[in-house]
Amino acid sequence: MKAILSARNLMIAGSAVAVIALSAVSGVFLLRSIARRTPFSGQSVSLAKQDDWQAFGGTWQYADGAMQNNSDERGAKLMSGPTYWSNYSIEADVLLLGQYGDAGLIIRSTDEEEGVDAYHGYMAGLRDLDNTLILGRADYGWREYAAKPVTPRVYAQQWYHVKFLAYGCDFAVSARAPGGQTTSVAVEDPDCLTEGRFGFKSYNTGAEWRNVEIRKATGQDLVAMTGDARPTIATPDALPMGAAPGSYDHYFEPIQRDLLAHRTDVNAQSISSLRLLSPDIPASVTIHGVVTLTSPVLFIQDPTGGLAISDSHAHAPLQIGDEVEAKGDAELHDFSSRLRDANVRLLWSHTPVPPVAVTAAQAATGAFDAEYVELQGRLEHKDEAAGHTLVLTLDDASQSFLAIVSEAGQAERLRTLKEKSRLRLRGICVVDSDYTHDLTSFALLLPSFNDVEVVDGPPWWSAGHIVATIIGVLLLALAGLSCYFLIERWRMQAVLEERGRLAHEMHDTLAQSFAGLGFQLEAIRDEANEGSNIVPQLDVARLMVRNSHEEARRSIAMLRPENLESVGLLRAMENCAHRMVNGTSSIAVRVSSDGSERAIPLRISDTLMRIGQEAVANAVRHAHPAHLDISLNYLRSAVELMVKDDGCGFSVTGELAGFGILGMHKRADSIGATLTIHSAPGNGTTLCVQAPTPPSLLRAFWIRFENSWRNRSDGNPRR
């Protein structure tokens, strides 16, 4: 029963913990969701950081504290902010550059694309076509909710302060004229879009925006804009608010009459026909074309070609996409024409000319001089020129060219373009040496920073990346070697500790047993009669026990050599040799060293120690030498241990080259060392083992592999 109650209590406690954890997680997500729906705390929006903005059509530039779209493109948009903002307001000063268009602010926008009303969101602004303050919704098509006449009216080239607010499904917009008169309107969209980002939009005219502010919106802010009146329910299928049936007919007639009045010159020539004029006689001509560039020089283009206009006198500010009439003196150049001292008159807002896709080789021929083109190239380098201008040097299929773009917008994206990136550019192709400086065959004059698009980043195998990769590989190799040596060191420490333990065990058991047997045999020998037949057998047994005891002591000494790190390899070998020849006064041990002494890795020094011990033991047991020479030589990238005796020697290729020598070869192979033995009967023995040190670690591995391969090829692998 107690077990059941305990299990039940555990289940209740676990459920409580789960509920608390779930509540905490839900609270965190709720707070994060609320925080995400709140606009940023800073109220002023930076227009200078154009990398924070995304353009959909238009020619956008930042200059003199204002963002400008210098294009008549229908439906040009510039967007910023996250898509999850909900209740907020945006206000800005708005100026229309041309006539017969509209410009304003966008809120709660998503899914933007290039094209007229190609987005989901709300737009409010000024339209001089019918002198109204407009408010509507775009869902890849325009639904106008309100169009209220502005007091006194909408003028081009004048600043209006526009404020657009969204709270819940209520929307309010107001416009304050330069004289202080305010026009406002509010609607309610029951099926509203609840969140989205903000931006600017112009239609059929250029425009400017400045002093942009954005802040969180509340119900009090909505009441402050609308007063006591409730927003009107949006009725997109009916006529806009404030308009009566047939009210739009009155402003189309003056527009059409104005268009006809501007097209009075029937003697206008095509741009290509200027090539037929005499190059020696100045001729006054009239040209109709669409503006493709306004700065640093005015360029226009018609279906037959393009030309530049110097010293132009325009009656109104011109924008890209304006259709104009230009009268001036024609001046022929090598590949295109130029008008000087030209009077330019605005005819009508026109759709901007689409670029002609060409290659760099085609543009270099001059056939597209003064025309709006699109091409690709790989960025070689970039330079800053006078007048806040950025000059890009590119090449495509071994054809170099320049791209010149104004940095008035302070577009950091252009400055951070990486060399060797492949770019797509749109601009006016010019072959004039004033722009190319005779460095390339042509140059591109880009209308804005939006006319530069990165197609591909720089290739991975650039010089910098290769160097960084090599350095990274070397660092990884160094780290791997360090780990390898550290692991080997730990392993060797463990091996040495285990050898020490075995040596202690052998000393406490086997060696003590041999000593005890010797004492017992001595006692029995002393009690036996001298003439007894057992005495010779006892003497043999005593000798065998003494020899076995010596072998055990020698094995114990080999199992626990001195600390190689503290005394060094040469001193350890000397101590080991003296212990082995102890009691054999006829063998003289001599040690020597040559070269600059340095630390030897523990694994290498231990292996050399084991090989040297075996060589000394073989010399003491079998060779009966008078002198035993041990030398340690420090070479540039290796260490060499040599053990030499003047004993009886042996035939290396004979049967005596047994297990001990094969074991020494195997130990040498384990560290990539080279072992050589020189001996002959009556001439002594010289053993030399040369082991590479860490700077030649790769060489050691190669030697080890080579030795293994050679042994397999010989069919006699060393075991």
Q: Answer yes or no: do 101 and 208 share one domain.
A: yes
CA distance 618 to 624: 9
Q: How high is the pLDDT of residue 713? A: 57
The answer to whether residue 530 is domain-embedded is: no
Q: What is the pLDDT of residue 317?
A: 80
The dihedral through the CA atoms of 713, 716, 718, 719 has a sign that is positive
In a domain, 516, yes or no: no
Q: Read off the tokens for 449.
A: 């920073």
Quick one: average pLDDT of 413-441? 87
709 has pLDDT over 50: yes
Task: Summarize the confidence of residues 261-268 as an average pLDDT.
Answer: 58
pLDDT for residue 241 is more than 50: no
Structure confidence at residue 420 as a pLDDT band (50, 70, 90) = confident
- The 10s digit of each residue's pLDDT in 333-385 is 888 889 988 999 888 776 788 899 999 999 999 999 999 999 999 999 888 87
Higher pLDDT, 18 or 395: 395
Residue 258 maps to a domain: no
Q: Is the domain of 240 the same as that of 308?
A: no
| Helices and strands, number each (H, E), in the chain | 14, 33
Best mean pLDDT range from 93-97, 389-393, 395-399? 93-97
| pLDDT reported for residue 174 | 96
591 and 691 in a single domain? The answer is yes
- If asked whether residues 89 and 187 sit together in one domain, one would say yes
Distance (Å, rounded) from C-alpha 702 to C-alpha 696?
10
C-alpha distances in Å from residue 487, one per residue of 482, 554, 696, 705: 9, 30, 19, 21
Q: 196 or 562: which carries more pLDDT confidence? A: 196
328, 416: one domain:
no
- Whether the predicted pLDDT of 703 surpasses 80: no
* CATH code for position 119: 2.60.120.560
Judged by average pLDDT, the poorest of 33-42, 99-108, 298-307, 410-419 is 33-42
Q: At residue 72, does pLDDT exceed 60?
A: yes
Q: What is the mean pLDDT of residues 625-648?
A: 91
What single letter denotes the amino acid at residue 519?
F
- State yes or no: pLDDT of 330 exceeds 70: yes
Which amino acid belongs to residue 474? L
Phi, psi dihedrals of residue 243, rounded to the nearest 5°:
-110, 145
CB environment 220-257: b (16+ within 10 A), e (fewer): ebbeebbeeeebeebeeeeebbebeeeeeeeeeeeeee
Same domain for 417 and 278, yes or no, is no
Q: Which amino acid is at 319?
A: Q
Average model confidence (pLDDT) for the chain?
A: 81
Residue among 417, 438, 446 at smallest CA distance from 355: 446
Residue 107 lies in a domain: yes
Q: Is residue 493 part of a domain?
A: no
**Residue 636 forms part of a structural domain:** yes
Residue 480 lies in a domain: no
250 — pLDDT class (breaks 50, 70, 90): very low
Q: Six-digit token pair at 622? A: 């079998």
Say yes or no: 308 and 283 in one domain. Answer: yes
Phi, psi of 264 (to 5 degrees): -90, -25
Domain residues for 438?
356-456
pLDDT tens-digit readout, 93-135: 999 988 778 999 999 999 999 888 899 999 999 998 889 999 9
As a whole number of angstroms, the distance between CA 703 and CA 692 comes to 10
> Which of 301, 317, 349 is at the close of a domain?
349
- Give pLDDT tens digits for 662-699: 888 888 998 889 999 998 888 899 999 999 986 555 55
Lowest model confidence (mean pLDDT) among 112-116, 241-245, 393-397, 584-588: 241-245
Mean pLDDT of 275-280: 78
127 and 23 share one domain:
no
Total domains, the chain = 5
Same domain? For 223 and 362 the reply is no
Tell me the mean pLDDT in the region 250-277.
Answer: 63
pLDDT of res. 327: 92
Final residue belonging to a domain, choices 332, 349, 366: 349
Under a CB-based contact definition with an 8 Å cutoff, are residues 657 and 648 in contact? no
Could you tell me if 176 and 194 lie in one domain? yes
Once rounded to an integer, what is the mean pLDDT over residues 439-454? Answer: 89
Q: What is the mean pLDDT of residues 569-582?
A: 84
Q: What is the CATH number of the domain that holds 421?
A: 2.40.50.140
Could you write out the three-class secondary structure of 298-318?
EEEEECCEEEEEECCEECCCC
Residues 219 and 323 in one domain: no
Boundary of a domain, candidates 253, 287, 304: 253
Residues 6 or more apart whose Cβ sits within 8 Å of residue 638: 690, 691, 692, 693, 696
Percent of the chain residues past pLDDT 90, beyond the cut: 35
On the question of pLDDT at 412 being above 80, the answer is no
* Euclidean distance between CA atoms 577 and 585, whole angstroms: 12
Residues 78 and 170 in one domain: yes
Q: What is the CATH number of the domain that holds 681?
A: 3.30.565.10
Residue 620 in domain: yes
